[in-house]
């Protein structure tokens, strides 16, 4: 479906602003520098993670995002960070790369908008090398019942104005169902309206590989 005028002209800048507030920048800074080797970023968007990569740890960087209208903003940040990125204008449900192509997959504030997040996570697992890591930071389903009720009420209209963003996705359950384990999952509310700000972050690994990681 062709993007609307709103999606082409206003939405990229609204998302860029909302996803670049101080608390969210702080969250990105916790996880993005951990990426290493051949890296795939899911939902590169406007390139807000570029400033946080440790270039000394990166062999190659591929950025996947179907929102082509955001690529121009991303290119500016890529140049500013001194990185080389292979931009791919596709969604994550079908990643156009062979199995075991990446050492790190990184996804920040993106699972909320992917139409089929479970399919996307299974694809992320497929393209990771054995022992590879999925580094993530996402907002999602809150632990407090009253907050969850508001998330469920708000999401139907919120996703219409926020690029498909769902406020109430259960990130830990999605990871588990896709075959990932996250032994050190962290979560908390960021400053701001609680239905919008419950964050999960950590490093996940394919479940069958947990034992092999311990031996290394």
Domain ranges of the chain: 5-207
Longest Cα–Cα distance of the chain, Å, equals: 53
Strand partners, 155: none
Angle, CA of 182, 183 and 186, to the nearest 5°: 75
Residue-wise pLDDT tens digits, 144-201: 999 999 999 999 999 999 999 999 999 999 999 999 999 999 999 999 999 999 999 9
Q: Which helix (H) or strand (E) holds 78?
A: helix 71-81
| Architecture of the 5-207 domain | 3-Layer(aba) Sandwich (3.40)
pTM for the structure as a whole = 0.93
Q: Are 167 and 154 in contact (CB under 8 A)?
A: yes
CA distance 39 to 22: 25
**Which residues have C-beta within 8 Å of that of residue 83, sequence separation ≥ 6?**
50, 53, 55, 58, 61
Give the pLDDT band of residue 209 (cuts 50, 70, 90).
low
């Amino acid at each position: 479906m062709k993007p609307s005028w709103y999606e082409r002209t206003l939405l990229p800048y609204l998302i860029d602003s909302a996803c670049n507030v101080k608390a969210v920048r702080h969250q990105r800074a916790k996880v993005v520098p951990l990426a290493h080797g051949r890296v795939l970023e899911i939902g590169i968007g406007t390139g807000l993670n570029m400033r946080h990569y440790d270039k000394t740890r990166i062999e190659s960087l591929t950025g996947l995002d179907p929102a082509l209208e955001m690529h121009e903003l991303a290119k500016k940040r890529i140049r500013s960070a001194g990185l080389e990125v292979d931009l791919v204008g596709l969604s994550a449900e079908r990643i156009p790369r062979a199995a075991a192509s990446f050492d790190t997959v990184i996804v920040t504030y993106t699972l909320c908008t992917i139409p089929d997040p479970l399919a996307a996570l299974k694809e992320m697992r497929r393209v990771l090398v054995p022992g590879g890591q999925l580094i993530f930071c996402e907002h999602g389903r809150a632990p407090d019942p009253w907050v969850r009720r508001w998330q469920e009420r708000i999401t139907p209209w919120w996703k219409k104005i926020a690029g498909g963003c769902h406020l109430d996705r259960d990130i830990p359950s999605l990871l588990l169902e896709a075959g990932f384990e996250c032994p050190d999952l962290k979560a908390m509310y960021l400053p701001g309206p609680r239905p919008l700000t419950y964050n999960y972050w950590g490093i996940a690994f394919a479940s069958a590989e947990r034992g092999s990681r311990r031996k290394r």
